[in-house]
């Protein structure tokens, strides 16, 4: 039970922090929609993610695990389908310049925004799991 509560909190915090960092993730509504999104994400991580890992096992074997992030992208996409308050939108990075180093404008489509958002949410939740276990 403690594991489920911790997983729910970590997924809620990961979604919230990722929505604060990246403008691609939008969570409309109040904190109840964030709790619902965290609960749905926890359920998807518990039940759907292992099934997807089994389905994508041949692809992971062929690519030596390089496409294992695809499972997390699919789970985040399913979250946006199931919870209407969570949306992923395209985004244009305005660019930056510092001491002669220039990063040009970068346009992220829906797919790349979904991949970037999934990687950030996964990074945050995995970091929280690692910190709590040590």
Binned at pLDDT 50, 70 and 90, residue 116 comes out as very high
Lookup: tokens for 35? 């709790």
The C-alpha atoms of residue 77 and residue 56 are separated, in whole angstroms, by 16
- Whether residue 1 has pLDDT greater than 90: no
User: What is the pLDDT, as a whole number, of residue 65?
Assistant: 86
Predicted confidence (pLDDT) per residue in 53-85, tens digit: 999 999 999 999 888 899 999 999 999 999 999
Q: Locate the domains of the chain by residue range.
A: 2-133
Binned at pLDDT 50, 70 and 90, residue 87 comes out as very high
């Amino acid at each position: 039970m403690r594991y489920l509560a911790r997983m729910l909190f970590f997924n809620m915090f990961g979604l919230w922090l990722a929505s604060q960092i990246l403008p691609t993730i939008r969570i409309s509504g109040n904190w109840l929609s964030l709790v619902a999104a965290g609960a749905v994400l926890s359920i998807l991580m518990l039940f759907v993610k292992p099934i997807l890992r089994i389905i994508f096992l041949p692809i992971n074997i062929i690519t030596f695990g390089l496409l294992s992030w695809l499972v997390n992208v699919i789970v985040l996409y399913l979250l946006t389908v199931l919870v209407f308050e969570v949306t992923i939108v395209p985004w244009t990075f305005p660019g930056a310049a510092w001491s002669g180093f220039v990063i040009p404008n970068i346009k992220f489509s829906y797919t790349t925004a979904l991949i970037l958002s999934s990687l950030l949410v996964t990074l945050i939740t995995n970091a929280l799991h690692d910190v709590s276990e040590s």
